[in-house]
Each structure stands twice: as structure tokens, then as C-alpha cells.
């Protein structure tokens, strides 16, 4: 099965449309979304509707839950909090109910998936260090996909004490090892590449391929300015940080 795994759209409709089209070209058979449909960008309801229509499994992210008051937004940085408050005002009743219904973690037959991490998925831990990665070891059966940090990375475990961080854009997975794999971000990449990022997981071949997709960044920035979203959030899209 060819799975498209994507996350962190953050109300960026132009990026989402470009990525969905690229998934068609890549021959994706199933689509798995790892959370954060909303927050930061100008089109929350449109992104919710489009993802609902096109995606087989949809998880909640911390921004999705914060926008409906299901998780505390007080630890968000001021820009993120402003955007979450703006988002909450825009959501239709239908969008709100949908976001409330989502869960932040799922175990599927061929892999696990979480927004933040398989360790306490609704506490939204970041996996930023190798130590963070090792804390997740026991919670991974084989392969677990995550989002949240907006930074694509493959973490390969040799055992419970040793993990390697791989920056490969294509990787054949070792059947004898466990993996924690971050899919990057569609709507707000932070690895200094402004193109949207997602991945294709071919479960029969055991391969992971990252794909980068350009989209109309200027158009999103114009819309964000019209909505008076924070300047910092508008600027960062152009540089991917
Ligand atoms: Zn996010």
C-alpha cells in the first residue's frame, strides 16, 4: 500500500491544494493526516472541508484542540495564540464539532501515527533531541509517523539505547529496526526550505520518500495580511523557518 502521510497544514489552503495534487501524481492510495489542520493561516474552514473529503485517517493536533478549547493555549507563543484566537472566531459550528471529534493518536495494522509522539500523545511532547527519541522507544511497535515540529527527520533505533538521526529524502527501512519518522509540514515548513513537505510510505517496499511541493506563498501571505494575522507568521512562510 502506498500511503501519503502529511500534517501541519495550518489553514494554508494553497499549500494543501498543491500537496493533494502531488499525492495524485505520486500514486498515493491512502492518505493519513497527522494533525494541525488549523492555526497560523487564513483558511481554517476550507482546509477542514478539503481534508475531510480527501483523507482516510485524520488525527488532531494541538492547534486543532486549542482552537476548540480542548487543550490549553496558554503555553503557546504570542503569535500562535493570536492565530488560535482568530481561528476560534472563524470556525463554523460544523468545523468546531469535527475538530472536537478528532483523536491525537492511532495504531493501524502497518504502522502507528501521532501528532506529537506515541508517548503520552495528548501531552504534545516535542521530539527534538535523541534523548526525546529514546523515551519513545518502548511505545513504538515498528514504525510510527509523527508531525508537530515541522522538521522532516527519520529516527532509526538500533536498540533501546541507540538511535540515529537520518536526513535522507529517500530511505529503505531495515526490517529489524524501529523507526520514528517526522513528515515535515505542509503549511509552515521550518527546515529552511519554504516548499511544502510530506512523505510517501510504501509499506510493501518498506520505503519512505519525502516530497517537496512549491505553492503560491505570496497569495497566502496577502490573505494573511488581509486577516491581520501576525506579521512574523506571514514572513516566516517565505523562508521556511
Ligand atoms: Zn503544527
pLDDT tens across 170-201, in order? 999 999 999 999 999 999 999 999 999 999 99
pLDDT tier at 74 (50, 70, 90 boundaries)?
confident
Measure 126 CA to ligand 1 centroid, in angstroms. 11
> Which set of grid coordinates corresponds to residue 119?
508517548
Q: DSSP state, 205?
A: T
Give the pLDDT of residue 73: 87
Measure 63 CA to ligand 1 centroid, in angstroms. 7
Percent of the chain with pLDDT over 70: 100
Q: Domain range for residue 26?
A: 2-236
Predicted confidence (pLDDT) at residue 75 exceeds the cutoff of 90: no
Measure 187 CA to ligand 1 centroid, in angstroms. 9
Give Cα separations from 122 to 10, 90, 182 (angstroms): 18, 24, 17
Across residues 134-148, what is the average pLDDT?
Answer: 98
- Total of domains in the chain: 1
Measure 176 CA to ligand 1 centroid, in angstroms. 31
Measure 164 CA to ligand 1 centroid, in angstroms. 24
Measure 115 CA to ligand 1 centroid, in angstroms. 9
Q: Is 183 helix (H, G, I), strand (E, B) or coil?
A: coil
Q: Tell me, yes or no, whether 241 lies in a domain.
A: no
Measure 61 CA to ligand 1 centroid, in angstroms. 7
Q: Tell me, yes or no, whether 200 lies in a domain.
A: yes
Q: Tell me, yes or no, whether 117 lies in a domain.
A: yes
What CATH number is associated with residue 148? 3.60.21.10
Measure 150 CA to ligand 1 centroid, in angstroms. 6
Measure 198 CA to ligand 1 centroid, in angstroms. 13
Burial 69-105 (b: 16+ CB within 10 A, else e): eebebeebeeebbbbbebbbeebeeebbebbeebebb
Measure 148 CA to ligand 1 centroid, in angstroms. 5
pLDDT tens across 83-93, in order? 999 999 999 99
151-155 LR contacts (CB < 8 Å, sep 24+): 151/182, 151/184, 151/190, 151/191, 152/182, 152/183, 152/184, 152/191, 152/197, 152/199, 152/210, 153/181, 153/182, 154/179, 154/181, 154/182, 154/208, 155/127, 155/130, 155/179, 155/180, 155/181, 155/182
Mean pLDDT of the chain: 97
Q: Tell me, yes or no, whether 140 lies in a domain.
A: yes
pTM exceeds 0.85, yes or no: yes
Amino acid at each position: 500500500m502506498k500511503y501519503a502521510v502529511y500534517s501541519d497544514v495550518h489553514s494554508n489552503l494553497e499549500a494543501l491544494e498543491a500537496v493533494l495534487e502531488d499525492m495524485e501524481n505520486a500514486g498515493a492510495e491512502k492518505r493519513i493526516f497527522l494533525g494541525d489542520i488549523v492555526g497560523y493561516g487564513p483558511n481554517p474552514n476550507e482546509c477542514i472541508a478539503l481534508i475531510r473529503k480527501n483523507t482516510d485517517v485524520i488525527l488532531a493536533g494541538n492547534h486543532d484542540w486549542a482552537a476548540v478549547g480542548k487543550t490549553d493555549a496558554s503555553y503557546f507563543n504570542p503569535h500562535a495564540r493570536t492565530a488560535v484566537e482568530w481561528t476560534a472566531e472563524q470556525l463554523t459550528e460544523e468545523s468546531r464539532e469535527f475538530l472536537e471529534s478528532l483523536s491525537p493518536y492511532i495504531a493501524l495494522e502497518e504502522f502507528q501515527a501521532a501528532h506529537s509522539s506515541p508517548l503520552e500523545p495528548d501531552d504534545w511532547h516535542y521530539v527534538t533531541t535523541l534523548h526525546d527519541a529514546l523515551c519513545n522507544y518502548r511505545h513504538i511497535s515498528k514504525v510510527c509517523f509523527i508531525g508537530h515540529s515541522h522538521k522532516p527527520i527519520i529516527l532509526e533505533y538500533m536498540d533501546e539505547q541507540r538511535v540515529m538521526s537520518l536526513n535522507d529524502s529517500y530511505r529503505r527501512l531495515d526490517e529489524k529496526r524501529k523507526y520514528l519518522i517526522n513528515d515535515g509540514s505542509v503549511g509552515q515548513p521550518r527546515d529552511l526550505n519554504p516548499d511544502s513537505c510530506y512523505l510517501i510510505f510504501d509499506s510493501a517496499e518498506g520505503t519512505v520518500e519525502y516530497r517537496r511541493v512549491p505553492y503560491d506563498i505570496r497569495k497566502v501571505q496577502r490573505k494573511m495580511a488581509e486577516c491581520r494575522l501576525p506579521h512574523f507568521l506571514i514572513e516566516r512562510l517565505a523562508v521556511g523557518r
